[in-house]
Amino acid sequence: MATEPTLAPAVMEPVVISAAGLSYRHLNEQVRSAIRSGATEITLNDVMGHRYIGTGIHAPGVTIHVNGVPGEDLGAFLDGPHIIVHNNAQDGVGNTMNEGRIEIHGQAGDVVGYGMRGGRILIRGDVGYRVGIHMKGYRDKQPLIVTGGCAGNFYGEYMAGGCQVLLGIGQSDKKPVVGQYCASGMHGGVMYIRGELDGWKLGKEVQQIPLDRHDREFLKPVLEDFCETFAVKEKLLEFDRFVRIAPVSARPYGRLYVY
Amino acid sequence: MEYYEEPNARVALGLRRPEPGDWYHGYPEYHVERDDDKCIRCLVCVRQCPYDCTFYDPYRHGVYNVHENCVNCRRCEFMCPTSAIRMTKWGAGFRDNDNWKQKTIRTVYKQADSGAVSLTGLGNDREYVSYFDRMVIDASQVTNPSIDPLREPMELRAYIGKKPERHTNPPEVYPNLKAELPVIFAPMSFGAISFNFQRGLAMAAKEAGTYFNTGEGGLHPDLRQYGDHAIVQIASGRFGVSLDYLSNAAACEIKIGQGAKPGIGGHLPGEKVTWDVSRTRMIPEGSDALSPAPQHDIYSIEDLRLLIYGLKEATEYTRPVSVKIAAVHNVAAIASGIVRAGADIVVVDGFRGGTGAAPAVIRDHVGIPVEVALAQVDQRLREEGIRHQASLIAAGGIRSSADVIKGLALGADAFYIGTAAMVAVGCTACQQCHRGRCSWGITTNRPDLAPRLQPEVAAERLTNLLHGWAHEIKEMLGMMGLNSIESLRGNRLKLRGVGMTQVELDTLGIQQAGL
Amino acid sequence: MPSMRGNRHFIRRPHQEKDISACGIIGFINRDGTRVSGDAIIRSIANMHDRGNGLGGGFAAYGIYPEHADAYALHIMYDDERAIAETEALIRNTLETEHAETIPVHPNGTVTEYPEFRRYFCHAPDVEERDADEYMVRLVMRINAKIEGAYVVSSGRNMGAFKGVGFPEDLAEFFCLQEYEAYLWTAHNRFPTNTPGWWGGAHPFTLLDWSIVHNGEISSYGINRRYLESFGYACTLMTDTEVVAYIFDLLVRRHGLSFEQAATVMAPPFWQDIDRMPPDEAAEATALRQTYASAALNGPFAFLFGYNGGLIGLNDRVKLRPLVVAERGDTVYMASEESAIRVVSPDLDTLFYPVAGQPVIARLYSETAEKTSVAHGGTVHGN
Amino acid sequence: MKRVYPREERCINCHLCEVACIVEHSETKLPSAAYHVEGLRFNREDSRTICDPAEARAAGVPKPLNRTLVQTAGYLSLSTNCRHCEEPDCVLACKNGSLYVAEDGRVLVQEDKCVGCWMCVMACRYGAISRNPARSNVPAVAFNGINHHCDLCPERELPACVWVCPTNALVFEDRDDQ
Amino acid sequence: MNHVIIGNSFAALFAVEAIRRTDQDAEITVISREPQHVYSRAMIHEMLAGMVREPMVYLRDWDFYKRMRVRTMLGRTVTRINPGLHTVSTGEDETPYDRLLIATGGKPFVPPLNGLQDVAYHSFITLEDAKKLKAACEGRRNAVVLGAGLIGLQCAEALRHMGLDVAVVEMADTVLPMALDTESSQTIAKELADEGIAVHTGDTIDLIISSDGHPTECKLRSGGTIPCDLLVIAVGVRPNIDLAKDAGITTDRGIVVNEHMETSAEHIYAAGDCAQGPEIVTGITMPIPVIPVASTQGMIAGYNMAGKRRRYGGALALNAMQFGGVQVISYGFVKDERDGEVLKYVDPPRKIYRKVIIKNGRITGAIFVKDVDRAGIFRHLMEKRIDVTPFKEHLLSPHFGVAHLPAEIRADMFTRPQ
């Protein structure tokens, strides 16, 4: 008698894939097919510059561990999964990400969370230029990027929504917490920056404000999440070291044109 | 609802007083002539004017105009049930001067009034050479028969996307768009245009078996049903871009540039971001929607490749990826790079393309005509042996089926029509798109104006336009003895030039008429 | 040399982009390989005298050089001594020549002024069989494109093309075709309208052992030519028939398509028909159409395509030019007019009109596993 | 039966339906004559047609009146007219039986019988009946006027308002089966 | 099926039409005390004043009974109903019925007045009354109308129109005390005064002085005397329930009916002014003597009699009237402002007055003076018991219309046949 086909078990054994020798297309195909067959824990070993890891995957509840250095556009258009990078990441992390969570235990390159509209990116170390640009929030979707270290120029450029937190761990005279043109063109959302911030670096569309009670209430769980994720011992909850940066107007260029 | 004003709220009662800072409006440009005998005071025109130009004076029981507000949109003229209204130019205008034309003087006034960038809508309105208008088409006479398209099959179907270089068994298959005629509706975002218009475009695209392009404004939930006929755009602002948006569409298009304003981004002013626009773009209501020119993750061709393949990964290689660029000086080399970066479709948008809003100085002086760009791109891709790797869509300034035929012969696979589609549904080219109160309900979402264009009406008119063009294209194909557009595509022998220099002819790759 | 009197140039390319002509065509093949003299083909084509105007005619014959069967037979026409010298130097430098001679001609009737005709039986040196073909193609292209006053009429093994300005029956006499024996003959009677007849412009057009006689006009010439040029073909003859030959070459020799597939490319089924096909067939037809959109031949045409292995007839996809196919025993005839067949073979086993866009392929029995009738499509008429 | 139904999401508040209605129900069927010769001015406050008898008299001329009325609230507008109910409240209320349901289902008024008691105005829950002060069958006491409502343009295949509407915001169709 | 209808006014008329629409074969008999063709009692004052021609009084064409195939017994008075026998008796003969509709309307109430027994006075209910009054007007100068209800005022206005000096005496403090609130009745009173009608409110006739059977003077309770040579008593109308009562049918102020217009007796229905059916605002039963209610009840009764089960949602008191150049339309209970929110719009120079009373989000009363256009929407709001809170602030705007109603209500009104 033929046996009844059985459903895939609810919790599968963790899937381990070695990326060595695989093209990114094949690697991602393997990841997708693992997810389709029900995997919830996937570990990618020997990753070395493979692009698009997790890109365009709609699968809440899936965790992808990345060992090695992932390539560009990690988690682009991400829709649900939780990606943990145990090393540094390169450029384009979380490009136009919709939902999910990306943790990077090292540092990340340029253009993190471009046009991000949901989910959460946590980065232990520094980030490059143009981080969190064009970030957007809409209703219940409010993206969040927490950067442990320092950021380059154009941080939060054209930000239109969501939240960025820059902790500036390891900042010094030679390594300022954030580069120039911070928040230029920002017209929505909010950013919190910890540490010494020179006002001239800010775009003219924004202002610095000390934190109020709401800010503290918002930040506290965020910072706790960061510390827990990366096992950071540093005392981060000194709210007076933070400033809040918010746009003056939702319409920065309203008077630029004449009809 | 708060910012709605009764259209006749500005009752001037005949007393004109230009503001010190308003010289621009101090000199009316148009004159609304009203035949008082015919006017029945039904006030239809008063209710229809969104530019505060027409008002009713109850004391004189008459309808009057604040002429300096008139933009010559001609809505009142169109709607007047007794044809009592006629638009004319205001008087003599400024003293005749070919150098300092009316427009030039007025623009200087406007900027001196405000100190701001002069914004405008629609496409380039300057008197540049139209190469389309200097090309003529071949026809069969005696030696080879023309074909009667009424009886004979005539194929306009275009597959748009990458093709294999050679046939193999089994054949290589790449995702392609299948358009029943090589005309696609150009990217126009909801927000810049009304929902009704976009819906009309979608309905017409479905009906005619072609595609519409969402522009960079996201895909409205109500238009998801037309996803099979939607090309969705990804621009720097990433409005409404989500996995669902990408995978629900027929193709994804990366917008690098726009013909009307190469190198300039989009800027949807906050007042146009209504509730519906807001949920489509997934941004808060009333906030500016800024989409600057550069995609901030694309600063080089390899970055473009990164995004192209990012989109392919996200859609699991099931959708063609298009890249749209403005036609600029070295467009051939750029297009070649784009094809080599993996794009399945390259859109070249000429400088006559329309826009919802652009600084006039850029709209009028930047970019090149699509005809030459197209000729050069097609030639370059052929020379490099990569023409099959991508389809070529020409956009910006396609006004008629003749332009389509000529563009096909120059080498395009398909065409975007934007302004032509707007004109089809009533646009009078008054160039006020940027003001968000289009009197025809095309480029506005103001709730009192938007219903003026009904999706079914728009769809019907657009379908009619496409049918008309399709018939004309068929006639012209038949006339050339062809029964499939593939045999016209790149067939430059079917074109001859008139009134062009040899350099121009060579650039277009065609011969002088008579030879 | 009488043919080179005065300043006449027989191989001068007209500056016209392409030649436009109407024509009559005929071809037949003895599938068992029996060789017959040119008498029959001459009578056939002469029967269609009125389809031409005396400005062009030509023949292709397969199996005529059994003694040099393995050598490429280069038929070359020359305007002048300089061209001969230049060409022969090139041949000397690039090929191993087994035998060379002047093609015997017999001026008569309308054919009184003519170029010099020579033939060379050559081998490509030190190259593989497949590469040898490519080598020969390049050489032919080079002669045709680079050497003013020289033109390669044909270059295949064990076959030859004979063509020129005049009525075909006169040209047959001129080239003494009744003295050749071939198992496959094609012929062409030409009616050019707007070019002075030039000898190179006559049909058949050949490349290696492939020859085309063609009736009609390829309206898609412009794009076909641009497409072929991107694959390195030099379209020097300003005629659409040349394009057909090159497309065959590209598809069959270089891309390895079957003749059926090549025919599908050249006369593609309509999309509406593809939409009704079974999925597999539709997928292939779609792939072929998409891949080779620019190779599709649009416009009215009927052509006969000869090669060492057989004869293929193909109509355009709406059948705007006539083509009739008939069988008698082992012989398959394809012609513009039935009368041209009946004049040499009054009793036919079958006669039919091919379906538009579907090739009729008659192969030598030695090329096919079994004897099959060509009458697989079209309207079959009894005799 | 076929009735006129408004589609409010399409209405652009142009009031052309009213114009067409007036012209259709005018003596001359010429717009300028309907308004200028037969016509009358608009009410100052709200540009509705005047229903005040005194004002109408002051203006001196009888006028054809619109039988369809565009009602607005903010951005919303819709053209409303008689629903031609199956059991019309107006007929049930009519004081002297001058309103009746015709054979074809239309609700009509015998214009020479109506005495202008406005029981119909009171009864019509759609606000679709207006008062035409231009005619009166009762000479004195009060200036009465007569009942005035949509007659579905008996002389036309398509009622004028439907015919004229530029956005097809009015449709003339049979929805009885729905 | 054999239908018998007692009465020949609105309720009877619409009952006939409903029966005939439902049942082509039914026999219908109309028995009425009045000999006239079906006419409108609401027209008699215009008739009296000579403002309308007599045909305009009749509700239907002359061939109405013929078309409807109705057997008429006009000018015959029903003396008794025999529910057990299923017959009605007119004294001379018995008419059997399967279904019976009592639509006997109202009868005038005549108060006991000193001296009334000595004089000829007039009622003003029937066409007959009007004709008699008209004849009696000949040579008279001073008419006195007792009662400033609708009938009284209409009669007064008609008499005034005929050139008589008219005085109206009303016990209550205002004119039209039942139909209008104070503010609107004052407007009407002023309008009447402008027409030359003397209105004495809060007063009544103490004594009628007469000579030779004709009144000459009325002494008022307030002390004054008014000349009088023509006296009209129009104090009010009571439901005419005598027949029903005698037949043992349950009566209260009127004949009690349920929502199907059925009385307590089997196969006997009642409709119109004589009936006491459910009221929609309060939900309790009460007689509402207005035309639309009578017509509707008659129609409902007719359908039910003919076997088509129909329910009556309940009556709404509503009225339209005009005096001078002022139109008034009222709905529901316009005087009862207790526990209610009152919205008012007053424009005295133009005599415009609008009032709405809202209780628990529902409108319980509304009154419109002068500017009555589109007032009918309020009837809809009241009958459908629509919560008006969301658009309350627009209710009294001159532009208020269906556009202000919630979308679903608009859709209900304008997207399907009604």
For residue C22, the model assigns a pLDDT of: 62
Q: Are A52 and A73 in contact (CB under 8 A)?
A: yes
Concatenated DSSP letters of A152-165: -TTTTTT-EEEEEE
Domains and CATH numbers, chain A: 107-247 (2.160.20.60)
Contacts of B148 (CB under 8 A, 6+ apart): B478
The 10 Å Cβ neighbour count of residue B115 is 10
A19 vs D32 pLDDT, higher one: A19
Residue B2: what residue type?
E
Quick check: helix, strand or coil at residue B509? Answer: coil
Residue A51: what residue type?
R
Q: Residues D42, D124: one domain?
A: no
What tokens appear for A44 in the block? 């990618």
Q: Residues E44, E121: one domain?
A: no
Handedness of CA C250, C369, C62, C85 (dihedral sign): positive
Tell me which residue of A216, A256, A259 sits closest to A238, measured CA to CA.
Answer: A216
Between positions 59 and 78 of D, the ones with CB within 8 A of B are 74-75
Average pLDDT, chain B: 89
For residue D40, is it within any domain? yes
Q: What share of chain D is helix, strand, coil (3-state, %, to 5)?
A: 25, 20, 60
Give per-residue burial for A129-147: e unless 16+ CB within 10 Å, then b. Answer: bbbbbbbbbbeebbbbbbb
Spell out which residues of chain E touch residue D144, defining contact as CB-CB under 8 Å: 322
Contacts of C6 (CB under 8 A, 6+ apart): none
What is d(CA E13, CA B145) in angstroms, rounded to the nearest whole number? Answer: 82
For residue C17, the model assigns a pLDDT of: 47
What is d(CA A206, CA A249) in angstroms, rounded to the nearest whole number? Answer: 8
| Complex ipTM | 0.81
For residue C153, the model assigns a pLDDT of: 92
Q: Which of E235, E256, E273 is the last residue of a domain?
A: E235
For residue B206, the model assigns a pLDDT of: 96
Tell me which residue of B200, B286, B284 sits closest to B239, measured CA to CA.
Answer: B284
| Residue D119: CATH number of its domain | 3.30.70.20
Average pLDDT (A183-200) is 86
Question: Nearest residue of C to residue B173 by CA position?
Answer: C287
Between positions 41 and 60 of E, the ones with CB within 8 A of D are 42-43, 46, 49, 51-52, 55-60
C-alpha distance from C317 to closest chain B C-alpha (Å): 9
Q: Are A109 and A92 in contact (CB under 8 A)?
A: yes
Q: How confident is the model at residue B464 (pLDDT cuts 50, 70, 90)?
A: very high
Domain span including residue D112: 83-149
For C310, which DSSP code?
Answer: E
For residue E313, is it within any domain? no
Question: Nearest residue of C to residue B493 by CA position?
Answer: C222
In order of A170, E375, E415, E416, the CA distances from E412 in angstroms are 68, 18, 6, 7
Contacts of B105 (CB under 8 A, 6+ apart): B94
Between positions 225 and 254 of B, the ones with CB within 8 A of D are none
Q: Which of E262, E277, E305 is the last residue of a domain?
A: E305
Spell out which residues of chain B touch residue C22, defining contact as CB-CB under 8 Å: 143
Q: Residues D73, D18: one domain?
A: yes
Tell me which residue of B142, D156, A168, E248 sits closest to C194, measured CA to CA.
Answer: B142
Question: Nearest residue of A to residue B311 by CA position?
Answer: A56
For residue A255, the model assigns a pLDDT of: 66
Count of the separate structural domains present in chain D: 2
Average pLDDT (B38-47) is 89
What tokens appear for B64 in the block? 């009057």
Question: Nearest residue of A to residue B281 by CA position?
Answer: A138
For residue E149, is it within any domain? yes
Average pLDDT (D137-161) is 80
Spell out which residues of chain D touch residue B41, defining contact as CB-CB under 8 Å: 35, 41-42
Tell me which residue of E144, E132, E140 sits closest to E170, measured CA to CA.
Answer: E144
What is d(CA B348, CA B396) in angstroms, rounded to the nearest whole number? Answer: 8
Domain span including residue E275: 2-107+238-305
Domains and CATH numbers, chain C: 2-216+240-246+297-381 (3.60.20.10)
3-class secondary structure per residue, E274-343 = HEEEEECCCCCEECCCCHHHHHHHHHHHHHHHCCCCCCCCCECCEEEEEECCEEEEEEECCCCCCCCEEE
For residue E360, is it within any domain? yes
What is d(CA C330, CA E198) in angstroms, rounded to the nearest whole number? Answer: 128
Contacts of B235 (CB under 8 A, 6+ apart): B216, B254, B255, B266, B291, B295
Quick check: helix, strand or coil at residue C278? Answer: coil
Q: Residues E89, E195: one domain?
A: no
> In this model, does residue D141 exceed pLDDT 90?
no
Q: Are A53 and A64 in contact (CB under 8 A)?
A: yes
C23 part of the active site = yes
Cβ–Cβ gap A114/B290 under 8 Å: no
C-alpha distance from C282 to closest chain B C-alpha (Å): 12
Contacts of E225 (CB under 8 A, 6+ apart): E217, E218, E219
Spell out which residues of chain C touch residue B166, defining contact as CB-CB under 8 Å: 254-255, 291
For A84, which DSSP code?
Answer: E
Cβ–Cβ gap D93/E399 under 8 Å: no
C-alpha distance from A2 to closest chain B C-alpha (Å): 36
Spell out which residues of chain B touch residue C229, defining contact as CB-CB under 8 Å: 382
Cβ–Cβ gap B283/A138 under 8 Å: yes
For residue E319, is it within any domain? no
Phi and psi for A204 in degrees, rounded to 5? Answer: -75, -5
Strand pairing report for C159-164 and C150-154: unpaired
Q: How confident is the model at residue E49 (pLDDT cuts 50, 70, 90)?
A: confident
> In this model, does residue E357 exceed pLDDT 60?
yes
Average pLDDT (B396-408) is 95
Average pLDDT (D145-169) is 90
Average pLDDT (A195-204) is 80
pLDDT in tens, A80-95: 999 999 989 988 899 9
Q: Which of E218, E235, E252 is the last residue of a domain?
A: E235
Average pLDDT (B209-229) is 94
For D125, which of E291, E320, E376 is closest by C-beta distance?
A: E376
Q: Are A118 and A143 in contact (CB under 8 A)?
A: yes
Q: Residues D76, D8: one domain?
A: yes
For residue A32, the model assigns a pLDDT of: 92
Question: What chains are in contact with D, requiring at least 3 Cβ pairs below 8 Å?
Answer: B, E
Spell out which residues of chain D touch residue B37, defining contact as CB-CB under 8 Å: 32
Tell me which residue of C299, C308, C263 sits closest to C284, measured CA to CA.
Answer: C263
Average pLDDT (B264-279) is 82
| 383 residues of chain C, pLDDT tens digit each | 344 434 456 665 554 445 555 688 999 999 999 999 999 999 999 888 888 888 889 999 999 999 999 999 999 999 888 999 999 999 999 999 999 999 999 887 778 788 999 999 999 887 776 688 888 988 998 898 888 889 999 999 999 999 998 889 999 999 999 999 999 999 999 887 655 567 888 889 888 888 999 888 788 888 999 999 888 887 776 677 888 888 988 999 889 999 889 999 999 999 988 999 999 999 999 999 999 999 999 888 899 999 999 999 998 888 888 899 999 999 999 998 888 898 899 888 888 888 888 889 999 988 776 666 664 443 333 33
Q: What share of chain A is helix, strand, coil (3-state, %, to 5)?
A: 15, 25, 60
In order of A120, B214, B453, the CA distances from B193 in angstroms are 33, 10, 11
Q: How confident is the model at residue D161 (pLDDT cuts 50, 70, 90)?
A: very high
Spell out which residues of chain B touch residue C21, defining contact as CB-CB under 8 Å: 143
Cβ–Cβ gap E14/D54 under 8 Å: no
Phi and psi for C100 in degrees, rounded to 5? Answer: -140, 145
For residue D178, is it within any domain? no
Phi and psi for E379 in degrees, rounded to 5? Answer: -60, -45
Q: Are B267 and B237 in contact (CB under 8 A)?
A: no
For residue B16, the model assigns a pLDDT of: 58
Average pLDDT (A103-115) is 91
Spell out which residues of chain A touch residue B314, defining contact as CB-CB under 8 Å: 55-56, 76-77
Between positions 235 and 254 of A, the ones with CB within 8 A of B are 250-254
What is d(CA A14, CA A39) in angstroms, rounded to the nearest whole number? Answer: 7
The distance from CA E132 to its chain's CA centroid, rounded to whole angstroms, is 21
Spell out which residues of chain B touch residue D47, defining contact as CB-CB under 8 Å: 43, 56
For residue D42, the model assigns a pLDDT of: 40
- Respond yes or no on whether the N-terminal peptide bond of residue C204 is cis (omega within 30° of 0): yes
What tokens appear for C166 in the block? 């005049």
Cβ–Cβ gap A79/B242 under 8 Å: yes
Q: Residues D58, D96: one domain?
A: no
Q: Are C292 and C251 in contact (CB under 8 A)?
A: yes
For residue A5, the model assigns a pLDDT of: 46
For residue E314, is it within any domain? no
Between positions 214 and 253 of C, the ones with CB within 8 A of B are 216-217, 219-224, 226-227, 229-230, 251
Quick check: helix, strand or coil at residue C34? Answer: coil
Tell me which residue of E265, B304, B448 sits closest to D10, measured CA to CA.
Answer: B448
Q: Residues D22, D89: one domain?
A: no
Strand partners of residue B135: B497
Q: What is the CATH number of domain B132-155+182-512?
A: 3.20.20.70
C-alpha distance from B444 to closest chain C C-alpha (Å): 40
Query: Of B193-207, C209-223, E160-174, which one has max mean pLDDT?
Result: B193-207
Cβ–Cβ gap C289/B486 under 8 Å: yes
Cβ–Cβ gap B491/C222 under 8 Å: yes
Counted across chains B and C, CB pairs separated by less than 8 A come out at 121
> In this model, does residue E56 exceed pLDDT 60?
yes
How many residues would you count in chain E? 418
Average pLDDT (E357-373) is 90
Cβ–Cβ gap B290/A253 under 8 Å: yes
For E414, which of D5, D95, D141 is closest by C-beta distance?
A: D5
> In this model, does residue D90 exceed pLDDT 60?
yes
Q: Residues D41, D123: one domain?
A: no
Q: How confident is the model at residue B12 (pLDDT cuts 50, 70, 90)?
A: very low
Cβ–Cβ gap B41/D168 under 8 Å: no
For residue D63, is it within any domain? yes
What is d(CA D24, CA D105) in angstroms, rounded to the nearest whole number? Answer: 21
Please indicate if any CB of chain B lies within 8 Å of the CB of C20.
Answer: yes
For residue B461, the model assigns a pLDDT of: 95
User: Which residue in this structure is represented by tokens 């639309």?
Assistant: E292
The CATH label, of 3.30.70.20, 2.60.120.10, 3.20.20.70, 1.10.150.120, for the domain at B24-116 is 3.30.70.20
For residue E194, is it within any domain? yes
Count of the separate structural domains present in chain E: 3
For residue E315, is it within any domain? no
Q: Which strands, in side-by-side order, build the sheet including A188-194?
A: A15-18, A41-48, A63-69, A79-85, A99-104, A120-123, A144-147, A160-166, A188-194, A242-247, A206-209
Taking any CB pair shorter than 8 Å as contact, residues of chain B touching chain C are 140, 142-145, 147, 152-153, 155, 157, 159, 163-167, 171-173, 176, 382-383, 385, 387-388, 409, 480-484, 486-494, 511
Q: Residues D109, D40: one domain?
A: no
The 10 Å Cβ neighbour count of residue E216 is 15
For D121, which of E157, E161, E376 is closest by C-beta distance?
A: E376
> In this model, does residue A63 exceed pLDDT 90?
yes
- The strand ranges marked E within B259-360 are 266-268, 289-291, 321-326, 345-349, 358-359
Domain parsing of chain B, residue ranges: 24-116, 132-155+182-512
Between positions 153 and 172 of A, the ones with CB within 8 A of B are 154, 157-158, 160-161
Taking only Cα atoms into account, the Rg of chain C, rounded to an integer number of angstroms, comes to: 20
Interface-testing mutation among D13, D41, D50, D61, with chain B (most B C-beta atoms within 10 A) = D13
Question: Nearest residue of B to residue A255 by CA position?
Answer: B116
Please indicate if any CB of chain B lies within 8 Å of the CB of C299.
Answer: yes
For B167, which of C20, C255, C296 is closest by C-beta distance?
A: C255
In order of B204, B360, B399, B449, the CA distances from B419 in angstroms are 15, 17, 8, 19
Strand pairing report for E70-74 and A188-194: unpaired
For residue B161, the model assigns a pLDDT of: 95
For residue E317, is it within any domain? no
What is d(CA B135, CA B504) in angstroms, rounded to the nearest whole number? Answer: 11
Q: How confident is the model at residue D143 (pLDDT cuts 50, 70, 90)?
A: low
pLDDT in tens, E99-134: 999 999 988 888 888 888 888 889 898 888 999 998
Counted across chains B and D, CB pairs separated by less than 8 A come out at 73
For residue C237, the model assigns a pLDDT of: 67
Lowest mean pLDDT, pick from A215-224, A245-254, C152-161, C177-186: A245-254
Question: Nearest residue of A to residue B245 by CA position?
Answer: A77
Tell me which residue of A258, E411, E258, D143 sits closest to B116, measured CA to CA.
Answer: A258
Phi and psi for C262 in degrees, rounded to 5? Answer: -60, -40
For A136, which of B114, B244, B283 is closest by C-beta distance?
A: B283
pLDDT in tens, E246-260: 989 999 999 999 989
